[in-house]
């Protein structure tokens, strides 16, 4: 079987891998649940390639992510739920429906009007989805939530539990903001962050481990809220912080190695001086 630019070939490859007796034993052993962690991992790999501006790598990672979609669709097809074509049709229908200003009779709208239309269509989709889940008896099995049917579903119910913590925090905050439950000034969020750090300190003073965990969680939530107000992706921001830390620490290791030493033999003061040296180099490169 030869590779092709046609998506049909990838679907054929996936079907062959899942064919009993002649397929791949590992692929045949997989289920929706076992594949999900790989799907999440591949999405992060895409984000990493974008952050590194490695577009050759991005091509590869997008392919890996697409494979995950094809794999999940194949599992669904085998169980009689839907196939890959239905996935494509569903997202195509959604994009057309949400872009009446492009594909419909609502052209020439302002950004604010477009955002209002988008929110309205999403609300209608959510209502229809709630009715469908209720009719299918899925209300009690939706991501661990419970309820008596569509009427028991709340504003925040469709924010998936599987999202990374900071991303989920922002989505929860965005939804709460649609009904006016929000700060009207980023500086008020900064004040909240200061309040949360004080509460972390109080929990430390009390030597209450559980309270420390709770207060640190509140602090993360408040920081995510500040990022949201400033239109900063908190996950992207923390990835950048991780990269900076990694680069600066590697500078420490390299400089110590040149001196015939390592981190275990260096003092904190020595490592801190090299850390500051790395920061200064970054500032010099930036200018």
| Residue 192 belongs to a domain | yes
Given a cut of 60, is residue 141 above it in pLDDT?
no
Confidence of residue 135 (pLDDT cuts 50, 70, 90): low
Calculate Rg over the CA atoms of the chain.
Answer: 25
Answer yes or no: do 65 and 141 share one domain: no
Instruction: List pLDDT tens digits, range 1-45.
Output: 888 999 999 999 999 999 999 999 999 999 999 999 899 889 989
Answer yes or no: do 11 and 79 share one domain: yes
| Residue 160 belongs to a domain | no
Answer yes or no: do 140 and 191 share one domain: no
Confidence of residue 232 (pLDDT cuts 50, 70, 90): very high
CA distances in angstroms from 233 to 9, 47, 50, 169, 191, listed in the order given = 36, 12, 14, 11, 20
Answer yes or no: do 116 and 189 share one domain: no
Q: What is the domain extent for residue 269? A: 235-286
Answer yes or no: do 193 and 256 share one domain: no
| Alpha-helical segments (H) within the chain | 7-17, 25-29, 32-51, 55-78, 84-98, 100-103, 111-135, 165-177, 186-205, 209-229, 234-258, 268-286
Q: Give this prediction's pTM.
A: 0.62
Burial degree of 73 (CB within 10 A; 0-12, 13-18, 19+):
buried
| Residue 141 belongs to a domain | yes
Given a cut of 90, is residue 153 above it in pLDDT?
no
Answer yes or no: do 141 and 196 share one domain: no
Q: Please count the structural domains in the chain.
A: 4
**Averaged pLDDT, 87-108:** 84
Instruction: List pLDDT tens digits, range 188-223.
Output: 999 999 999 999 999 999 999 999 999 999 999 999
Q: How far apart are CA 134 and CA 189, in angstroms?
A: 38
Answer yes or no: do 197 and 281 share one domain: no
Tokens encoding 59: 């091509």
Q: How far apart are CA 199 and CA 1, in angstroms?
A: 62
Q: How far apart are CA 157 and CA 14, in angstroms?
A: 34
């Amino acid at each position: 079987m030869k590779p092709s630019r046609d998506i049909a070939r990838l679907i054929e490859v996936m079907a062959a891998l899942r064919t009993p007796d002649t397929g791949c034993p590992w692929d045949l052993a997989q289920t929706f649940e076992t594949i999900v962690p790989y799907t999440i991992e591949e999405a992060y790999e895409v984000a990493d390639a974008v952050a590194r501006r490695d577009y050759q790598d991005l091509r590869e990672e997008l392919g890996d992510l697409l494979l995950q979609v094809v794999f999940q669709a194949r599992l669904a097809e085998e169980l009689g739920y839907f196939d890959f074509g239905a996935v494509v049709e569903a997202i195509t229908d959604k994009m057309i429906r949400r872009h009446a200003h492009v594909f419909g009779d609502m052209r020439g709208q302002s950004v604010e009007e477009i955002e209002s239309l988008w929110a309205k269509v999403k609300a209608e989709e959510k209502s229809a989805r709630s009715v469908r889940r209720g009719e299918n008896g899925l209300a009690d099995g939706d991501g661990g939530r419970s309820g008596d049917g569509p009427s028991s579903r709340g504003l925040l119910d469709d924010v998936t539990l599987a999202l990374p913590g900071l991303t989920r925090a922002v989505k929860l905050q965005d939804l709460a903001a649609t009904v006016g439950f929000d700060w009207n000034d980023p500086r008020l969020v900064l004040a909240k962050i200061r309040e949360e750090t004080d509460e972390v300190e109080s929990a430390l003073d009390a030597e209450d481990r559980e309270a420390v965990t709770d207060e640190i969680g509140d602090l993360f939530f408040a920081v995510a809220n500040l990022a949201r107000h400033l239109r900063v992706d908190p996950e992207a921001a923390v990835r950048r912080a991780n990269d900076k830390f990694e680069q600066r620490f590697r500078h420490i290791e390299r400089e110590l190695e040149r001196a015939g030493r390592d981190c275990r033999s260096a003092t904190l003061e020595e490592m801190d001086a090299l850390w500051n040296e790395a920061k200064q180099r970054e500032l010099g490169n930036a200018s």
